[in-house]
């Protein structure tokens, strides 16, 4: 029986390299569709937890994972030789930026090298790590082919960008459409067949480059529009206009407008990073992505604007930021998740400390917050805490906070998310 048949009837053994926010939910959906899944990660801690059926990802319920592990449908290991047991392998590892904002493909290359010695003829490899157009064929393909198998002849290779939105109660792995582009048409067909087993809608495109660019377009679109709102926020403040009210009014138009909102800065694993992949790659073609880079600059400056507004708010209460104790309320990059990647709270805290302020925080989703190698003190939202600090900066609007108590007790609150729009009083300052 060929790979196409095994993928179609669910008998194919699937591998997932990288068991984080992308890889683990994907492995679970594969197993729920009846596939036996071998999960690979370099973290022995993750492997131990998964082997015990314990989830460390909020979007993956432990009871669901426990059942799949108990049934033998998910096996987790650090032993990459077990790639040889699989019919298809999906690579889901991070692709961060380095200090110069160039793509860091180290994790991706390492993952490809780890699987290469154990690939066998007829296998399918797909890459889900977000990156610049050309990466699949220019970086990953040569590594895989160094093992002796040729893509399009002995081996199938495709790119399918992850579209994970942590904490989204509606769109998760299975019901979020999957874009797939292969090196050859046969590669695309096999990848579509695999994903169609456990993803509701699969969208084939003509090439790996088209699939890679699709993910960048999605997040550059959001980055640019958020930057626009962040700029309009600042000019509206000078004009005495409530930009949040303006957006709410504009979104009543049933066509030609999509609401985006300002905020303290971008966070997460995609929007703050993805635009720079394209900016970096564009230089190879003597093209400068001025529009994209300008949007990145506007968004990166938002933590500075937040701290400036904080100093103005303290000044109206005859206080200086130097020597003040500031409570950051919510430090995850978005509400109701535990993800700290690229969170604007990190830069805001650094800036406050750099100006002589003391920082404490409250976030029940984030048990540890490190700045400059030092832990930030976590506090409970007691009456003594709220009345004892000099200011509160609401960075992330988690649902499990008693905002009424915060407004009632804190001396001044800078609201960067418009979470306190229903509360009045002179103590609330809107970003």
The catalytic residues are 270
Q: What DSSP assignment string belongs to 251-302? A: TTSSSS-------S---SSSTTTHHHHHHHHHGGGT---HHHHHHHHHHHTH
Task: Give residue for tokens 């492995």.
Answer: 27
Distance CA 400, CA 426 (A): 24
Instruction: Specify whether the CB–CB gap between 375 and 368 falls below 8 A.
Output: yes
Interatomic CA distance for residues 353 and 75, integer angstroms: 45
Tokens coding 311: 């100093």
DSSP letter for 138, please: I
Compute the distance between CA of residue 155 and CA of residue 392 in angstroms, rounded to an integer: 56
Tokens of 37: 């899944």
Rounded to whole angstroms, the Cα distance separating 340 from 350 reads 15
- CA-to-CA dists, residue 97 to 240, 307, 325, 349, 372, angstroms: 38, 25, 33, 21, 19
Tokens of 157: 């290779």
Do 82 and 40 contact (CB within 8 A), yes or no? yes
């Amino acid at each position: 029986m060929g790979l196409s048949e095994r993928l179609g009837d669910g008998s194919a053994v699937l591998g997932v390299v990288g068991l984080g926010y992308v890889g683990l939910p994907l492995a679970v959906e594969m197993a729920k569709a009846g596939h036996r899944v071998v999960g690979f990660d370099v973290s022995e801690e993750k492997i131990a937890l998964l082997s015990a059926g314990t989830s460390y990802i909020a979007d993956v319920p432990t009871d669901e994972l426990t059942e799949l592990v108990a049934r033998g449908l998910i096996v987790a290991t650090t032993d990459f030789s077990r790639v040889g047991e699989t019919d298809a392998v999906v690579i889901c590892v991070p692709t961060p930026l380095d200090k110069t904002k160039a793509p860091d493909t180290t994790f991706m290359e390492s993952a490809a090298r780890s699987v290469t010695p154990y690939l066998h003829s007829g296998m399918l490899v797909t890459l889900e790590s977000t990156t610049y157009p050309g990466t699949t064929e220019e970086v990953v393909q040569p590594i895989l082919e160094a093992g002796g198998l040729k893509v399009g002849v002995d081996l199938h290779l495709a790119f399918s960008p992850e579209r994970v939105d942590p904490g989204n109660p509606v769109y998760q792995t299975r019901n979020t459409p999957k874009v797939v582009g292969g090196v050859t048409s046969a590669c695309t067909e096999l990848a579509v067949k695999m994903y169609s087993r456990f993803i509701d809608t699969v969208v084939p495109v003509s090439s790996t480059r088209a699939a890679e660019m699709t993910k960048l377009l999605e997040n550059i679109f959001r980055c640019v529009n958020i930057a626009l709102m962040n700029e309009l926020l600042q000019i509206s403040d000078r004009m005495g206009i409530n930009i949040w009210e303006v957006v709410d009014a504009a979104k009543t138009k049933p066509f030609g407008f999509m609401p985006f909102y300002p905020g303290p800065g971008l966070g997460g694993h995609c929007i703050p990073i993805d635009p720079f992949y394209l900016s970096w790659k564009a230089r190879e073609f003597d093209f400068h992505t001025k529009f994209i880079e300008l949007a990145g600059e506007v968004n990166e400056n938002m933590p500075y604007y937040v701290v400036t507004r904080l100093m103005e708010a303290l000044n109206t209460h005859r206080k200086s930021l130097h020597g003040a104790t500031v409570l950051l309320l919510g430090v995850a990059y978005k509400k109701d998740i535990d993800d700290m990647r690229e969170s604007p709270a990190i830069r805001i805290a650094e800036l406050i400390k750099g100006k002589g302020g003391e920082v404490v925080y409250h976030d029940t989703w984030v048990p540890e917050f490190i700045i400059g190698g030092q832990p930030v003190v976590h506090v409970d939202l007691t009456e003594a805490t709220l009345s004892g600090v000099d200011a509160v900066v609401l960075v992330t609007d988690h649902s499990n906070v008693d905002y009424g108590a915060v407004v009632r007790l804190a001396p001044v609150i800078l609201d960067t998310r418009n979470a306190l729009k229903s509360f009045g009083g002179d103590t609330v300052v809107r970003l």
